Every structure is written in structure tokens, then in C-alpha cells.
Amino acid sequence: MGKDFSQDYLKRFGENLKKIREAKGYSLRSLSAECKIDHSDIAKMEKGEINITILTVYELSTALHIPPKKLLDFDIE
């Protein structure tokens, strides 16, 4: 797994997070308030700019009221 794969994976994760967040009707700030993660960090996640921990996945999924695996359910090319 090279750097390109890692960057692509982070970008796809971020796109999926944003899609789910918007479908649930959350703004960056409202999701931030639900999970206690700064809205600017969520924006960076959605852009694929930062790598996160499994605990962050759990916090996001709890705030979005979805199973954690849904955040990781996306195609990678």
C-alpha cells in the first residue's frame, strides 16, 4: 500500500462521511456538537486531509446514529 492508496482511501472515507452527514441533515457544527470533535477537524476528515483513529470512527458513528461499519462502507479503486 503506497502513499497514493492511503490518500485515496482517506479521501473516499471523507466523501462517505460527508454524504452520510448531509443525508442525516447535520451541518459541520451540529455534528461537532453531537460528537465533541471540532468542526474544522470534521471538515479536514471530509477532505481526506487527516487520518483518524478507530475511536474517532466510533464517536462519529454514535453521533450519526449509524453502525461504525457504515462509515467504512465505500468503494476503493
12: domain CATH number?
A: 1.10.260.40
Sign of CA dihedral 71, 61, 15, 38: negative
Is 14 a domain residue? yes
Q: List pLDDT tens digits, range 32-54.
A: 999 999 999 999 999 999 999 99
Is 77 a domain residue? no
Is 43 a domain residue? yes
pLDDT at 38: 98
Q: Which residues contact 26 (CB under 8 A, 6 or more apart)?
A: 34, 64
Domains held by the chain: number: 1
pTM, two decimal places: 0.91
Is residue 61's pLDDT more than 90?
Answer: yes
